[in-house]
Amino acid sequence: MAVLYVAIYRPTDNKGTYHWALFLEDGQDLTISQAWGSPFSFKYDERKADPRNSKHHEENIFVAEIDDTQGYHETVRAQEINNELLSWGCQQWVLEALESSP
């Protein structure tokens, strides 16, 4: 059974906000899914990596155990990215993706 977390990263500068991403740990298969970029130019990013290897990684917050990893991946890949609001970002994407998950 896979385990889903919200991965929290410290800002890369003194003015930034904390970055949020979804982290799925399925045995040795580790996947980070995130809205990556800046206001008006966010894109979906998915990579095979362990967030704990980042020097900016703060913590992983447990969300759920996932049986249907294929359904999870389909849901997060289809999650809308809002590039029309200045105040929208990675944290909103994570919350919306979690609300959309079956």
pLDDT score of 14: 73
* Helix (H), strand (E) at residue 71: helix 69-78
Task: Kindly tell me if the per-residue pLDDT of 101 is higher than 90.
Answer: no
Cα(67)–Cα(93) distance, rounded to whole angstroms? 22
**In 3D, which of 65, 25, 78, 74 has the Cα closest to residue 48?**
25
The half-sphere exposure of 65 on its side-chain side, counting CA atoms within 13 A, is: 3
* pLDDT of 90 strictly over 90: yes
Interval 33-89: pLDDT, tens: 999 999 999 999 999 999 999 999 999 999 999 999 999 999 999 999 999 999 999
Number of domains in the chain: 1
- Show the domain range for 85: 2-100
Ramachandran quadrant class, 92 (left: phi over 0; alpha: psi -120 to 50; beta: rest): alpha
Q: Mean of the pLDDT values across residues 13-42?
A: 94
